[in-house]
A = this chain, B = another copy of it.
Amino acid sequence: MFEQFRKEICRHVDFKDKELELIENGLCLRKVPKKYKLVEEGKICREIYFVNKGLMRLLYDKEGDEITAFIFKENLFASSYSSFLEQSPSIQILESLEETELIVLPYDYLMFLYENLPKMHILIRIVAEQRFINSQKVLASHLLKTPEERYWEFQLLHKDLLKRVPLHIIASYLGITPVSLSRIRNRTHKN
């Protein structure tokens, strides 16, 4: 049930069995269907999700248009993290792209762990740092590369997602329209 989760967190912090038990006492497993919204716009995000199986995406609703901020694959911690950290209304939406199996860590239980298992600060510090590094990479890609180069890069790094995710979602992740992505793909395949 928590095998992947254990493996992932123990890569970063050396938790003892008793400590793992303490952590897992507050967790639960949740299965959601495709297109299920875990966090809605305007609501406070009160949980962090570890993706056991499936795909999640974080997105903005821009006057009806969906703009993808990030796609979470297996073994990543997903959440509307800004909303979770500040316990403030989310400006992002978190939803599943496939039928997805999640491990749920509630905010209140994380606070409990912070007090009773100080190592938890280390773990969450590392999770935050990694999400920061990721965010920096995506931002750098926008600052340094053209949409076309960004598509090539995406192809290299996330070949699997090209098959799992509709192209218009990838387009919005790359910061372009589906029409433009279609043109880029057309150009690319011919050369």
Given contacts A121-B118, A122-B121, A128-B132, contact A62 B175 (CB under 8 A): no
Is A124 in contact with chain B by the CB < 8 A criterion? yes
Give bound CA distance, A123 to B22, whole Å.
24
Q: Are A142 and B85 in contact (CB under 8 A)?
A: no
Report the contact-size class of chain A (Cβ under 8 Å from the partner). Answer: 20 to 34
Main secondary structure of the interface of A (DSSP, over half): helix
Copy count, this protein chain: 2
In the complex, what distance in Å separates the CA atom of A140 from the CA atom of B172? 12
Known: A132-B81, A132-B128. A139 touches B140 (CB 8 A): no
A82 in contact (CB, < 8 A): yes
A4 sits at the interface (CB 8 A): no
The verdict on A175 contacting B140 (CB below 8 Å), with A85-B133, A122-B121, A132-B135 known, is: no
Interface residues of A (CB under 8 A from B): 60, 62, 67-69, 81-82, 85-86, 91, 118, 121-122, 124-125, 128-129, 131-133, 135-136, 138-140, 142-144, 172, 175
